[in-house]
Amino acid sequence: MSSIALPRPAARRSWPTDLPVLLVAVVWGASYLAAKDITTARTVLAVLVLRFAVAVPVLVVVGRRGLAALTAAQWRGAGLLGLILGGIFLLETYGVVQTSATNAGLIISLTMIFTPLAEAAVTRVRPSRAFLAAAGLSVLGVLLLTQNGGLSRPGAGDLLMLLAALARTLHVLAMARLKGIGGAAALPLTTVQLGTAVLVFAVLAAAGGGAGPWRTAASFGAREWAGLLFLALCCTLFAFFVQMWAVRRTSPSRVSLLLGTEPLWAATAGIVLGGERLGAWGLVGGALVLVGTAWGRGAAR
């Protein structure tokens, strides 16, 4: 079949950039299953401390010049964003422990719907009918996804993932509107955010929030360490550097489109690798979420 969207030479040139970005979406989709596999309700804080204790020092070393160039206002703004980011990781990790990896990945994709709705509320610009229809389709999909084949309340994990999607929306809006971070480069800004989040996790863990990081690390076997290193190296360091590299080589919208396939890979990992089952209504709900978020992304643009 001949190419429709792009001429053949352009399509060939795009592959070296598109493939790593698509791989980021794949590892992010698999991250829900990986986190669920190595984490319990008692070890959430410990796993988060360990995950980012591996990643943050690398970012500090690589981006030390950018960190030194940040102004006091940029440090404060990035620190505030880090507090929000810490809340997102807490909600996501506690949520995935209490629900399926498939549900987690699909529900969190509602961020793509919530963000334009929140932006419209702030700017007082009414969303298009197509976008509102897409949002309604996505919400219906989540309701079907969390029913387990019958009329029931969504589980605690599903609700936590919904709150995480709302927190992600707040984070996106804050990044766009915080004047203090204006002019800051992506690398130092992200490093300060992740560093702030690690401090939050460490303080909560020290205050008695479940098992301690070092005791948890000592109890890990090869499987748990493999999962932790996957989260730290692939889902954090690799993903971040690929995004920075790709945005410079292609358009942000193209990167966003490829990363938008994350919920599809989350569902694939949960079903194929995790042995999760959605049931007939769950499959319909998952499909509606994917269609609704893709439609809503296009309508928002």
- Write the pLDDT tens digit of every residue in 208-265: 767 789 999 999 999 999 999 999 999 999 988 888 787 667 666 667 767 778 888 8
Average pLDDT of the residues of the chain = 84
- Write the pLDDT tens digit of every residue in 87-120: 999 999 999 999 988 888 888 888 878 888 888 8
The DSSP line for 144-171 is HHTSTTSS-PPPHHHHHHHHHHHHHHHH
Which is higher by pLDDT, 101 or 145? 101
- Please tell me the predicted confidence (pLDDT) of residue 74: 92
Residue 91 in tokens: 């909600």
* CA dist., res. 107 & res. 293, Å (int): 10
Residue 92 in tokens: 């996501």
* CA dist., res. 159 & res. 46, Å (int): 22
Judge whether 194 and 136 are in contact, CB under 8 Å. Answer: no
| Radius of gyration (C-alpha) of the chain in whole angstroms | 19
Please return the burial class of 270, using the count of CB atoms within 10 Å of its CB with bins 0-12, 13-18 and 19+.
buried
- If pLDDT is split at 50, 70 and 90, which confidence band does 7 have? very low
- Please tell me the predicted confidence (pLDDT) of residue 116: 82
Which is higher by pLDDT, 199 or 284? 199
Residue 160 in tokens: 């936590």
Exposure on the CB side of residue 271, measured as CA atoms within 13 A: 15
Alpha helices per DSSP H over 99-238: 101-108, 111-123, 129-145, 156-177, 186-206, 213-219, 222-229
Judge whether 268 and 290 are in contact, CB under 8 Å. Answer: no
